Structure 1
Amino acid sequence: MEQPANLILAAQTAFSQASALVVQYSFSIVGAVILLIAGWILSGVFSRWAYKGISKIHGIDETLSRFFESVMHYGILIFVFVAVLAQFGIQTASIITALGAAGLAIGLALQGTLQNIAAGIMLLVLRPLRVGEHIETLNVQGTIVEIGLFATELKTADGLYLMAPNSTLWNTPITNHSRQASRRQQLSVGVGNDVDIDIVTQTLLELVRSDERVRKDPPPRVYSEDLTAEKTVLMIEYWAKTREWSETRHDMIDRLRRGIAAKGIILK
C-alpha cells in the first residue's frame, strides 16, 4: 500500500510542477510572440522612416538609402531577438558577447569586403563619379554603369564590361572627364619658318571660329609652342561642350586639314 501511495504522490508532484512550468512558459511564449510581432512592425516603420529621411538629403544615392534602411531593419530585429531570449530567462549578456566576438571574427575574415563597402558608401556620399560619366584612374577607365556597395560597373570604350572593386576607385585619384560642362581642346600644327606666322595664325583662328560648337568665352587662341631650325609649332586651343568634345575634335582636325590645304600652307 505504501508504494502505490508514493507513486501517486510523485505523479501529483510532477503534474503540479508541469502545470507551473506550463503557466510560466505560456506567459513567456505569449510575451515572446507579442515582442516578435511588435518588433517586426516597428522595424518596418522605423526602417521606412530612415529611408525617407535619408532620401531627402541632397546628393544621397538610392543605393545608400536602401542600405541604411536594411541596417535599421535588421538591427531592430536583432534587438528584438535578444529581448525574446530574455523572456525565457536566458542570460543575454553572454549572447551579446558571443555575437560581438562573432562579428569581430567575421569582420577580420571579410576585411577586404568591408573595405569595399566603406569605399562604396564614401563614393555614394561624396559623388566623385555618377552613372553615365566617363572616368579615368591609374588602372580603370570607362563609363559608369552602376555604383554598388561592393563594386562599380563600367563600360569601356571598346564596349567591354568592367567591374572594379570600390576600394580601387576610392584609394586612387580619379579624373572625371564628364563632370564639367565644357572642356579645353589643344591641337598642334607645325609650319616652316619661311611662311608668315601671322597669316597662318589668322587662318587657323578663322577655321576654329567657323565651328559653331566652339565656345566664344573663353575665346579660341593660337600661339607659338615650339621653335626649331626647320619649323615653328603652333598650338591651337579652344573650348567646347563636354558632351560634344570628342566629335568636335575629330571634325576640327578635318576642318583644319582642308582649310590649310586650301590656303596653300605646307605643314612640317
Structure 2
Amino acid sequence: MEEIQKYVDMAPDLMMIYGTKVLMALVIFVVGRWVAKWLANVSRKVMTARNLDVTVVSFVGNIVYALLLTFVVVAALSQVGIQTASLVAIIGAAGLAVGLALQGSLSNFAAGVLLVIFKPCRVGDFVEAAGVAGVVDEITIFSTKIRTGDNKMITVANAAVMGGTITNYSVMPTRRIDMVVGVSYDADIKQTKEILSKILDNHPKVLKDPAYTIGLAELADSSVNFVFRPWVNTADYWAVKFELNEQIKNELDAAGIGIPYPQMDLHVQSLPQQN
C-alpha cells in the first residue's frame, strides 16, 4: 500500500513533467505537419510555374512532404524523451538499402527530371535517341515513349536517353536539305546549274533566306556531282525533298541530261598465241 501511495503522490508531478512534454510533442507534430504540407505545396507551385511535367511535380512534391514529415516525427519523439539516434540510424540504413535496390529506377527518375528541366526534347518532337528515331509521344518519370514512322511505340529508359546523344530534328524552325545530284560527263555544267536553280526558284516551299547552295562538288568515277542544298521549314522537310527528287529527274530528262549509274569499262586485250 505504501508503494501505491507513493506513486499516487508522484502522479501530479509526473503528469506535470511528462504531460508538458507530450503536449509539446503534439504541438511540434501538428505545426510541423502543416509546415511540411505548405513547403510541399510551394515546391509544387514552383515546378508548375516552370512548366514541368505534372507527373514529376506530383512525385517530387510527395517526396518533399515525406522527408519533411519524417523529420517532424523524429523531432516530436525526441521531445517526449525517446532516444531517436537509433531510429535515425535505422531509417538511414533502410533508405540506403532501398536506394541500392532501386538504383536503376532512381537513375531513370533523375534522368527524367533532367529531361523535363532542360528540355532537350519535348512531346511532339522528332528525335533520334538511344538508337531509336521517331516522335516523342510521352515523357514519364522513368521512361520516354517514342513513336516510330511505321507507328510502333518504343519505350526507352530515361537514363539511356540522357546518357547518349539526342538529335532533335524539330527544335529549329528551318532545316537544310542536303542532296547530291550526279550528271554525266557529257552534260553542260552551266546548263545543269541553271536547271537546278530554276527548280529551287520556282518551288513555293523553298526559302529565299537562307539562300540555297548549288555547286560542283566532285568529279566522281562515273558522274559529275553537284551539291543541292535548299532551306525549308522543318515541317515541310520530307514533302519538299520527295518533290525535289521527282522534279530533278523530270527536268534533267527533258533537257537530255543523263543521270549516270555506276559502271565499269572492261578492255580485253588478246594475248599472242603460243605455238
TM bucket normalised to smaller: 0.7 to 0.9
Structure 2, unaligned runs of 5 or more? 261-275
- CA shift, 1:30, in A, is 4.8
The separation in 2 between residues aligned to 1:226 and 1:85, in whole angstroms, is 80
- The offset of 1:21, in angstroms, is 6.8
Letter in 2 for 1:52: K
CA contact (8 A) 1:191 1:233 kept: yes
Of 206, 218, 221 in structure 2, the residue corresponding to residue 226 of structure 1 is 218
1:190 matches 2:182: yes
Choose the corresponding residue for 1:47, options 40, 44, 54.
Answer: 40
Note the C-alpha offset of 1:218: 1.9
C-alpha distance in 1, partners of 2:74/2:221? 84
**Number of the residue aligned with 2:256:** 264
CA distance in 1 between counterparts of 2:135 and 2:146 reads 5
Q: Does structure 2 retain, via aligned residues, the 8 Å contact 1:188–1:235?
A: yes
The 2-side partners of 1:151 and 1:56 are apart by 23
Q: Secondary structure at the match of 1:217?
A: coil
Superposed counterparts of 1:139-218, under 5 Å: 139-218=131-210
1:28 offset after TM fit, Å?
5.4
1:123 paired with 2:115, answer yes
**How far apart, in 1, do the equivalents of 2:239 and 2:55 lie?**
33
Q: Indicate if the aligned counterparts of 2:175 and 2:233 stay in contact, CA closer than 8 A.
A: yes
Percent identity reads 30
CA distance in 1 between counterparts of 2:249 and 2:15 reads 95
Question: In the alignment, is residue 91 of structure 1 matched against residue 86 of structure 2?
Answer: no
Describe the SS at the equivalent of 1:222.
Answer: strand
Q: Judging changes above 3 Å, is the alpha-carbon distance between structure 1 residues 51 and 138 closer, same or farther for their aligned structure 2 residues?
A: closer
Q: Is the 8 A contact 1:178 1:242 kept in 2?
A: yes
Shift of 1:99: 1.1
Task: Summarize deviations over 1:206-231 as a string: whole Å, max 9, x none.
Answer: 11221111111121222223224542
Partner of residue 3, structure 1: none
Unaligned runs of 5+ in 1: 1-7
The Cα offsets for residues 145-194 of structure 1, whole Å up to 9 and x where unpaired, read as: 22222211211112111111111111111111111111110222221111
Once the two structures are TM-superposed, the CA of residue 113 in structure 1 deviates from its matched residue by: 1.7
SS of corresponding position for 1:48: helix
Question: C-alpha displacement at 1:60, in angstroms?
Answer: 4.9
Structure 1 letter corresponding to 2:87: I
CA distance in 2, matches of 1:251, 1:206: 14
Shift of 1:39: 2.9
- Partner in structure 1 of residue 265 of structure 2: none
Instruction: Determine if the alignment matches structure 1 residue 255 to structure 2 residue 247.
Output: yes
The Cα of 1:245 is off from its aligned counterpart by: 0.8
TM-score w.r.t. the length of structure 2 is 0.82
How far off is 1:239 after superposition?
Answer: 0.8
Q: CA deviation at 1:40?
A: 2.9
